């Protein structure tokens, strides 16, 4: 069972969680906290019980036992948009709140987690298995209607479709991401169509304009700053690019990731 609750305002959240844990068996507790002080209090308790947990912002996710999924699907080997289609089909037959276990390859990981979140589902956990596949647990939900309100644009989705064929646009892609960071706008880069050519290992190092540093250096700098660079799975496949010859730090993703970014109200797309 997944229990999501808040302990905001409690002086000793660990007391409450201790009581909840005394009855928990195979559960995931998603605990919303006030912040650092409460998280520390909870962490001390969890360490005492040697429980697995993750902290994401102000949320502590506690794993108790082995959570049982209501249904399971294996999409290993399927390529974009296969995995999301198969999983969506399975979820459409499930009730809200039920848990689906998905076994997938690395190629579909981002698409599934991003795509399913965008559809209103909740990703409960993601773990890499010994055989290199991934196990995702997702709780079925539904997309809530957004309230009509002014939304602040705080992310840029930079889409490059020209790749090494247009050096100026290739430079702009990564330089714009750097400027966005300085302006507190979170940039994400998506390489598709000819843009995918930039994802071939070593290719960015071949692009150099006399007035600018080597493109490869800009790319490495941007990756070091935490910017995600996705490459369209089909565009990569078209050009013979795969996990083996993919530029370090780049991630293969597909239509669900792409569309999920485009559908976020706080994201502005930039086409290059």
Partner 1 sequence: MDINEVRTYAKKLMELMMLDKPFVAVKLAKSEGEIPEGYETLEEERRHCEMIQLARLERKKLYATVDKHLCKGGAYAMGVFRNPPEPLATGKLYVKLGNFKDEEAAKKTVEAIPKVEEEIYATVYAPLDETDFVPDSIVFIGEPLYALRLVQAMLYHKGGRFQADFSGIQSLCADAVAAVYTRKAPNMTLGCNGSRKYAGIKPEEVVVAFPPEKLKDIVEAIEYFRQVWTCGH
How far apart are alpha carbons 133 and 75 in whole angstroms? Answer: 10
Q: Is 242 a residue that touches partner 1 (CB under 8 A)?
A: no
Sign for the CA dihedral angle at 98, 259, 157, 197 comes to positive
**3 binds partner 1 per the rule CB under 8 A:** yes
> By CB under 8 A, which span of 14-22, 55-63, 104-112, 255-263 interacts with partner 1?
14-22
Q: Is 16 in the site for partner 1 (CB under 8 A)?
A: yes
Site string for partner 1, 77-106 (x = CB under 8 A): -------------------xx---------
CA-wise closest residue to 111 among 144, 78, 153: 78
| Smallest separation, CB 9 to partner 1 (Å) | 4
Q: How far is the CB of 70 from partner 1 (least distance, A)?
A: 16
The Cβ of residue 91 has, within 10 Å, a number of other Cβ atoms equal to 22
Task: Report how far Cα 91 is from the mean position of its chain's Cα atoms.
Answer: 19
User: What is the CB-side half-sphere exposure of residue 268 using CA atoms within 13 A?
Assistant: 12
State the DSSP string of 207-249: ---TTS--HHHHHHHHHHTT-EEEEEHHHHHHTT--TTTBPTT
Site mask for partner 1 (CB under 8 A), range 118-157, x = bound: -----------------------------x----------
Residues that bind partner 1 in the complex, under the rule CB under 8 A: 3-6, 8-10, 12, 15-16, 18-20, 22-23, 34, 96-97, 147
């Amino acid at each position: 069972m997944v229990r999501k609750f808040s302990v905001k305002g409690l002086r000793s959240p660990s007391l409450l969680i201790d009581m909840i844990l005394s009855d928990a068996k195979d559960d995931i507790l998603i605990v919303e906290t006030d912040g650092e002080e409460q998280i520390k209090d909870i962490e001390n308790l969890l360490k005492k019980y040697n429980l697995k947990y993750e902290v994401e912002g102000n949320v502590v996710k506690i794993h108790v036992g082995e959570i049982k999924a209501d249904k399971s699907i294996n999409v290993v080997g399927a390529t974009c948009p296969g995995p999301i289609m198969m999983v969506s089909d399975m979820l459409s037959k499930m009730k809200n709140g039920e848990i689906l276990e998905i076994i997938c390859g690395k190629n579909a990981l981002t698409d599934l987690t991003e795509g399913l979140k965008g559809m209103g589902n909740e990703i409960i956990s993601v773990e890499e298995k010994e055989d290199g596949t991934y196990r995702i647990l997702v709780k079925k939900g539904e997309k809530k209607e957004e309230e009509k309100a002014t939304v602040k644009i705080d992310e840029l989705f930079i889409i490059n479709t020209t790749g090494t064929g247009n050096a100026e646009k290739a430079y702009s892609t990564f330089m714009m991401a750097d400027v966005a960071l300085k302006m507190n706008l979170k940039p994400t880069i998506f390489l598709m169509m000819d843009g995918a050519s930039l994802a071939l290992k070593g290719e960015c190092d071949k692009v150099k304009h006399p007035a600018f540093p080597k493109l490869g250096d800009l790319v490495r700098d941007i990756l070091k700053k935490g910017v995600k660079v996705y490459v369209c799975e089909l565009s990569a496949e078209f050009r013979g690019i795969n996990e083996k010859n993919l530029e370090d730090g780049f991630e293969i993703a597909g239509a669900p990731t792409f569309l999920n970014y485009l559908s976020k109200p706080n994201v502005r797309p930039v086409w290059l």
